[in-house]
Structures are given as structure tokens and as C-alpha cells.
Chain A
Amino acid sequence: MAVGQSVLRKEAPNKLTGRARYNADLSIPGILHAAVATSPHAHARIRHIDKAAARESPGVAAVVTAADAQGLKCGEVLEDRPPLAEEETRYWGEPVALVVADGEAEALAGVSRLSVTYEPLPAVLTVHEALRPHAPLVHPDLSGYRQAQPPVAPRAGTNIADVAHIRKGHAEEALRDSAVVVTAHYHLPPVDHAAMETRSARVEILDDGRVIVHATTQAPFEVQKLLARYMKTQQGLIIVNAPLIGGAFGGKTTVQLEILAYLASRAVGGRPVEICNRREQDLAMSPVGPGLEADMTLGADRYGRLTGMKLTVYLDAGAYTDSSPRIARAICSECTGPYRLEHIETDVYTVYTHHVYATAWRGFGHMPLTFVVERTMDKLAAQLGVDPLEMRRAAAIKPQDTTPTRVRLTKSRLGDLDLCLRRAADLLHWDPTPRDEGKGTVRAQGLAALWKTSSSPPNAISGAIITLNQEGSLNLSTGTVEFGPGTKTTAAQILAERLQMPIEQIHVHSHINTKVDPEHWKTVASLSTFMVGRAVMEAAEDVIAQLKQVAAIVLKCAPGDLEVAHQKVYLRDDPEIFVPFRDIAHGYSYPNGDAIGGQIIGRGSYVVRHITTLDARTGEGHPGPGFTVGAQGVEVLYNRRTHHYRVLTAVSVLDAGRVVNPQVARGVVMGGINMGLSYGSREAVLFTRDGALENPDLRTYKVMRPGEQALQYRVDFVETPQLDSPYGARPLGEHGCLAMPAALANALSRAAGVACDTLPLTPEVLWQLAGMREA
């Protein structure tokens, strides 16, 4: 009825009339504004902060510094980050002080009058520098930090915040006995999320102790818990509101501005205070996606079968860990790519450096990981002289194989990679040989495969509440935040399908309030359809049971005789005998006025089962409920003289399990493809020699613009149901981007005859690579 239909997003019409309201559109009159004074050094000691002139500036109500935070340390995994720099600053752009004033202009004027004396210190800007012996330490007190969400394994006296491992089989021997072994080094820079809406937060502390937060967050329930913990108050007193979000991509999972706005509000007696990132600040001060350095060795026997691998990744966390240790474990979990490998040795180091810290970025480390694995696969295929498609098909992981973390796979858990590969190759008209198009122009193709599970914590929960309106329509409340993929609409589709009723009669709200909406862990990891869907299904069963119970009395039958559809409860063997929802939604009234029942309120709650943390030594464990596999490819037209190129065709085939909303799914995948190609072709957060951000605006931090996208998209889905997901649907929100940079690099490597092992692949980089080849 609703699942499998291209349903318009519930909030769509408002987005076309300017009536959809995002956080910054909902400001309140008289609110104070906080502007942030940020560090002009990558690493410096703060000698002195003179607040006097700023405090005297017209309209300024307060100046807040680390002293007002009373030693607070924040961090999702490891509490290593003071909300405002204490004695030292650790990145260019780090918040040092807040000026709270009547308006933004007054607050900024206040910031310009603040005088901070710094003593610049030597900085480490790359993982290489950070890992050198006697390198300056980003966190000399590393061992003293509280571990908020283990596992995390900091190494005191170094810049290594964490190490995660996979040990399976005997990689050393397997590689020694291999017929062919390839080794390569990869370098990927940090990137920004560049959501079109910058991050913002408003906080008001009421006299009754309640703290009202409005924020651009993908994780309102995380904000609630962290603020309660940091401020030593009850979770029930922290009320977090998340309205529509203007793009997130993982960048709005981190909790940063909420804490700053809280401190600012506390400094002015709890009055409402707003802090809204300007774009430059959003890039420089708020977290980015992690860059990495990686070395991979992969072996095969003389028949081309994969034998063993070694992978060492240095994840560039920047100045603070945030979610990097969790990203490291997500990389470990899927470190082989979607291939069967029994002998694995993987180490992922999370390394501190003196630049802006990293957080989740669409795919949680899987886009860089896929790049590393899929480039290496292509190199191995070249060494063996086999078709890279056929090599991938032969190596594809299958049901009954085990993952790097030793999860035994079933068809339901895994999906069908081979089918995705074949379909993608068909859509691309796969041809691994570059074709000369004359005038120095070459046409070439690249393919890459992907897989991903959620790497969510074992106790991630989700809930759903359904209430009935008197007329028989339904309200559905869930805890997911709405930032584009239409999670609310998907939940409504699942409910409409289960109750066999029109989706127009199901009402959702796109604004989350942690006080009234049931918790959904975080709107991340593309998990919403699965987790919320399960909760919705359970709530639907609850509603059905209650409806039948009342209807059984009204219709004088057993509840077991009844069915529910089309907003009616009817006798299975005679649908003409029924009672409509509207007669029982708020209780049933007999003609004489007597009433039974009450409002029908259904509830559902879900926790992913059997998820475990990974073993510290071997990595053994169960990181997520199921996988999404897929294959993607591109065809490029490349000019060997100018090194310019165009992506002619971009192909994506994901195993979606079941496509709930075809047009939305296509759109989300096309958006992912575009983001992946943008990342692959032009994006990088750049730092000067001193660690200042070199490209802090959208003029210099380049993202794809209209007309630069692939000339043609070919998007398709395979449907291998994940049996314990509603209607079999698998996650697909992040996946559209995951293999695109790898596919692009594989195509360009072939077109240019060079090894594209770094990103972004700008014409300049290709020119340099070609120059190196000639030299």
C-alpha cells in the first residue's frame, strides 16, 4: 500500500514556500548572541586574557572563558576537550572565549576588543609529524582523561589517542606464501561536511531548573545526556529541540555549540543565548571529517584468490578524539572490503595533530577505507593481469563466510554483492581497457565495491509512539531528526503498510523534542529505517491489539476474529461487519452515552540485539545488525595534455533489501554519488605551514556546483531482504558516496596511466602524478 511507493516527503510543500523552519529561523526576540573568540595559533600557551575592554563594549552582557567552565572536559569517547581552551590552544580556530551581547554585531565588536596574549608553541600538523620521536605532545595529560565510552586505548607520552586491531588467521605467513603481493601507501586529507545550513544552538536556563536547548543536531538525545552529565543535573531537566536540519552528513552528531551556548546562558543568569556559526567558523572551529594515511598489503595465490592482508591506518583525529576511536573500530570491522579474507592483520591508530578535530563524516570512515581497499584491489588485478571485475566477483564475500570481526554471514545479513557487481558492470557497459578518443583524450572506466554495517553501540535504542485522533487518523512520534532523507516519511510508510491505511491519515512532526518524543539513539549510520521501523512495527501491533480489544466488545466477538485495515476493524469472515477507527479511537460510546475504552495509544521500543564491543586484541565482536553491499562505477573522459576530465557516467547498484520509497532512494543515492565525486575530485581542508586554515569559505573550499556533476546517473537497486528489518529494507542513506572516490581514482589511474593513490584528484594533482611518472 505504501511501502515501495514514491511518496512525497511529508514536509516537502513547506520547503517550496520558505515555510519550513530551520533552527536559525526560529530565533526569539530579545535573545542574546554569543560570538566566539578563536585561537589564531595552531598551538599556543594562553598567557593572559584581558576581558575588561570587551566587557565595557556597548551591549555586552558577559565574557566567558575557560575559568567559567570549571575544568569541564568533553568528549563522546574520551573526555579530552575543554569547551573553551584552558592553558593551551590546540588548533587554529579553537574557541577561547565567548562574548555575549545584545546582538551579533555587538558580540563581534566585543570579540574584537578582547585581548588575549599567546605564546606560540611548536605544532604537529600531520600524522607523520605527530608520530616522530620527541614530537610535541598535543595532550601531555593523555592518561588522565576519563574514558566516557570505552573501548579506547590511549598511549600516554605519545600522540596516539587510540589503537584498534583486527587479528584473524596468520597474515604474515599467508602473505609470505602468496604468488603475488601488492603494497601501497595512501594519503587522504580531512574534508568538511559543508552542509548548507551552518551549525547553531540556543540555550535558555529557566528558574525551575529546566534547560531548553534548540540545536542543529542529529543527536538530540546525546545532547541531552551529555549536558546532564557535564552540568550535573537530571536528564529530565534538559529538553533538547531539533527542528528541520539543513543537511548534516555526520557533522551534526558532535556536541559543541550546545555546550558553549549553555555556558553563555549560565553566565547571564540563564537568559536565552544563541550561537550561530558563520560559514568561516563552521569550517575552522567545528569538526571536519578525518583524513588518513594508510599502508595496505594484499596477496593472492596464482589463481587470483585473495590470501591475506595487512593494513595500517593512521587516522588524523586533529586536536580531540570526538568519535574518531569509534570510526577506527568501524574501519577495523570492514577492513577487508566486501571480500573473503581469512588472514588479516589490521591496526588503526587514532593520532592527535594540531588542527581542527574530526568527527563522523558520511560513511563513518568507510569512504576512505573503501578508497584504500579498492585501489589495492585494482593494483592486484593489474599485477595478476586479470579483469578487475572478475577478480572482485571471485573474491566477493558470501553467506557462511566470516567477517574480519568473525561474524558469520547469512544471506539476510549480507545481501548479494555479486549481483550488484554484475548489474553495475552492465549499467556501465564495463570495459577495463581505456579507449583513445583522439586529440589526447581517453575514455576510461573504474569500478569499486563497498560494504558497511552500522558500528553502533550495543545499547542503541529506538522508540515509537502512536496516538489516535478522534476522527481515526494517527499521530506517529519517533526520535529521528529530519535532515533530508525523509526518515519520518519512511516511518509513516511502514506504519501505513502495516495498518493498510492511507499515508495521508498518518501525521508526523519533523521537530524533535526529547521530552515528548521517544529516544532514537542518533540519526546516523543510516539506521533509522531499521531501528525506527522495528519500533514502529511493534507500536503498530500494540495499536492493533488495543483496537481489536475494544472492537471485540462492540462487535460481540473474540479479538482473534478481527482484522484491521482501511481504518476499520472488521470480522475476518464478513468484512461488512466492522467498526471504524473513529468510533473507537477515543473509546466507544453506546447510544445511551455509556463509554468503554479510552484513547488508543500504541508504543514500540527496540534495541538492536546481539551487538557487542570488539575484542581489544583480535577485534572479534558483532558491530551491527546487517550489511549493505554495493558496487559503483564511473566512466571518465580525460585529456592527457591538460589533465582535465569529466565524469560521463556514474553508476550505483546497492542491495537495498527492499526499496521503501523509490524516488527518495534514487535521490539519496544520486546525492551521495555527487558528494563522493566532489570529495574525490576537489575537496580538502588545507592548512598553511603554521596550521591556519587555508580555505575557510565556500569560495576556496570547493564543492560540486550545478553542471559539474556526472553527465549521467545510472542508479539501480538489488533487493535481497534483511529478514529482521521491516519489509526487508536495508540502510542506504550514506552508501551512495562510499565507493565513488575509489571508482573515480581507478578510472583516472587507467586513463592517465598513473597511480592515483591520493585525493582530491584535481587536474593539478594528475599533472604532478604524470610528471612523476615521466621523471
Chain B
Amino acid sequence: MMEIRNRQEILLHVNGDRRRATVRGSDTLLQVLRTELGLTGAKPGCENGDCGACTVLVDDWPVKACLMLAGDALDRRIETVEGLHNTGTQRAFLEHFAFQCGYCTSGFLMVAEGLRRNRSAAHDLEQIEWLRSNICRCTGYAEILAAVRDALRSEVLKGAGLTLAPAASVPS
């Protein structure tokens, strides 16, 4: 029998499902998510780690999927924007009109979600520090920062058993 070497089937744990994918050793997680698994929410913006449009969560931490080999994602919990369902983060982005073309949005959402899970009490400067990994060319960033601040604030309040009415508009 012929030995088939350069492509191999792997099992990835994505958005709560176990998914099979056939990959080459050199394939990035981003390529595999998009072309093998049809999860096109993570976007290529540079494939060089510069823009963050490809950000996903790996074990709850934001990772640039263009910089991770698919092979390194075995046995890790991967979440893409398609795995977010009506989260406070998404609602905050909607309320604040925190996107225009939307191309950067999945990446920003995943960073924000990572913040919410790991550092929900982060102050403004720390939030900015996290978000600086990503670029948006359309907005003025104030909308995105306001959305993230809101999402985190309601998370903190929720921890205290409180809820916050939706934000009315983009602050000036």
C-alpha cells in the first residue's frame, strides 16, 4: 500500500463540536478554519500577525489564527465568532454601531470576548492594551472602545447580580 504523507486528517475541537479536517503540516489554523471547516468568520487581513482580523479564542485566550499552525491546535478548545450567540459583547457592538464594513469585527469581538472571560475588571488602559492587537480602518475606535467598556461593565455588574439598561448612543 502507498503511504500518503503530506496531508493528514486531524480532529479539532471547534465551537463545542469535534470537527475533522485534512491538513498539511504548514497549514495555519486560519486556513483550516476557513477552507476546511467553512468557518469564514475569522478573516485574513495580513496573515502576518499585524491586524488581528483572524483572532479566535484558544482555551479562552485570543490568538491570531494566522500565526498558529492547525497542528498546534489539537486538543485545544477553539472558538470562532460563529460560536458566539447573542452575547453581551455582540449586543454592545450593535448598540454602539461599533463597525462599518464589518471586516475587522469578528477579530475585535473575539478579543473583547477574551477580555470578558479573563479580565472582566480590566480598566480602560488595559482594555486598550488588549485591543491594540487589532486594526479597524473604518471606525474612529471610540465606538469599539465604548462597546467593549460596556460589555465588560455589564459583566462586572452581572457578577454582582445586577443588570444594566442598554446604552442609548455613541458617547461624544
Q: Show the binding face of A for B, using Cβ within 8 Å.
A: 6, 8, 11-22, 24-25, 27, 105, 194-198, 244-249, 278-279, 483-486, 663-664, 666-668, 670-671, 673-675, 697-699, 703-710, 712-715
Q: Is B53 an interface residue (CB 8 A)?
A: yes
Cα(A98)–Cα(B147), bound, Å: 44
Whether A12 pairs with B94 at a CB distance below 8 angstroms is: yes
**Residues of chain A contacted by B144 (CB below 8 angstroms):** 706
> Are A18 and B81 in contact, CB atoms less than 8 angstroms apart?
yes
Task: List the B residue with the shortest CB-CB distance to A711.
Answer: B142
Nearest-CB distance from B159 to chain A (Å)?
24
Q: Contact: B43 with A246, CB < 8 Å?
A: yes
Q: Do A17 and B53 have beta carbons less than 8 Å apart? A: no
Question: Given A17-B41, A663-B170: A704 and B94 within 8 A (CB)?
Answer: no
| B contact residues around A483 at 8 Å (CB) | 101
**Known contacts A667-B170, A707-B128, A707-B132; is-contact A247 B138 (Cβ 8 Å):** yes
Contact A244 B94 (CB under 8 A): no
From B67-75, B104-112, B115-123, the one touching the partner chain is: B104-112
Residues on the A chain within 8 Å of B51, using CB: 196, 279, 698
B164 contact set on A, CB distance < 8 A = none
**Residue B140 lies at the interface, judged by CB distance under 8 Å to chain A:** yes
B139 within 8 A of A: yes
Give the chain B neighbours of A710 by CB distance below 8 A: 140
List 8 A-B pairs, minimum CB-CB distance, nearest first: A18-B41, A246-B103, A670-B140, A15-B102, A484-B100, A707-B128, A25-B40, A484-B101
Q: Is B22 an interface residue (CB 8 A)?
A: no
A704/B48 in contact, CB under 8 A: no
A484 touches B132 (CB 8 A): no
A675 to B41 Cα, complex, angstroms: 25
A664 touches B97 (CB 8 A): yes
Give the distance in Å from the alpha carbon of A715 to the alpha carbon of B172 in the complex: 7
Provide the bound-state CA to CA distance between A703 and B52, in Å.
13
CA of A663 to CA of B104, assembled, Å? 19
Known: A6-B169, A105-B26, A663-B169; 19 extra A-B contacts, CB below 8 A, are A12-B99, A15-B105, A16-B84, A16-B90, A16-B109, A18-B40, A196-B136, A198-B45, A245-B101, A248-B101, A279-B51, A663-B97, A667-B140, A670-B143, A674-B141, A706-B144, A707-B128, A708-B141, A712-B172
- Evaluate whether A16 and B93 lie within 8 angstroms (CB atoms) in the complex, with A196-B136, A667-B143, A671-B139 already known: yes
Q: How far is A197 from B141 in the complex, measured between Cα atoms in Å?
A: 18
Residues 29-73 of chain B, each 1 if its beta carbon lies under 8 Å from chain A, else 0:
000001100011111111111110100000000000000000000
Of the A-B pairs whose beta carbons lie under 8 Å apart in the complex, a sample of 21, sorted by A's number, is A195-B101, A196-B53, A244-B101, A247-B137, A484-B101, A484-B138, A667-B100, A667-B139, A667-B140, A670-B142, A671-B138, A673-B140, A674-B139, A697-B48, A699-B50, A706-B141, A707-B132, A708-B141, A710-B140, A714-B172, A715-B172
User: How far is B103's CA from A249's CA once the two chains are assembled, in angstroms?
Assistant: 14
Cα of A668 to Cα of B94 in the assembled complex, Å: 15
**Provided the pairs A197-B103, A246-B101 are in contact, do residues A709 and B43 lie with their beta carbons within 8 angstroms?**
no
Closest chain-A Cβ to B147's Cβ sits at a distance in Å of 11
Q: Are B102 and A671 in contact (CB under 8 A)?
A: no
Point out the residues of chain B lying under 8 angstroms from A16, CB to CB: 81, 84, 90, 93-94, 99, 105, 109
Inter-chain contacts of A13 with B (CB < 8 A): 94
On whether the beta carbons of B137 and A249 are closer than 8 Å, the reply is yes
Do A17 and B81 touch (CB < 8 A)? Answer: yes
A residues in contact with B141, CB < 8 Å: 674, 704, 706-709
Find A706's partner among B34, B40, B53, B132 (CB 8 Å cutoff).
B132
Cα A196 to Cα B53 in complex, Å, equals 8
Contact of B94 among A8, A18, A707 (CB under 8 A): A8
Complex: how many Å from CA A21 to CA B43?
10
Cβ-based interface call for B80 (8 A): yes
CB pair A671–B105 under 8 Å, yes or no, is no
A697 to B49, CA, bound (A): 10
Docked pose: A16 CA to B105 CA in angstroms: 7
Could you tell me the distance between the alpha carbons of A666 and B170 in the complex, rounded to whole angstroms?
Answer: 9
Q: Most chain-A Cβ atoms within 10 A of its Cβ — which of B84, B131, B136?
A: B136
> Closest approach, in angstroms, between the C-beta of A743 and any C-beta of chain B?
15
Flag if B102 contacts A667 (CB, 8 Å).
no
Residues of B within 8 A of A246 (CB): 43, 101-104
Q: B31 to chain A: closest CB distance in Å?
A: 9
Whether A706 lies near B102 (C-beta < 8 A) is no
The one of B49, B93, B102, B170 in contact with A11, judged by C-beta atoms closer than 8 angstroms, is: B102
What residue in chain A is nearest B34 (Cβ atoms)?
Answer: A25
| Nearest residue, chain A, Cβ from B46 | A279
**B146 → chain A, closest Cβ, in Å?**
11
Does B12 have its Cβ within 8 Å of any Cβ on chain A?
A: no
Cα-based distance from A331 to B94 in the complex (angstroms): 38
Contact B46 A698 (CB under 8 A): yes
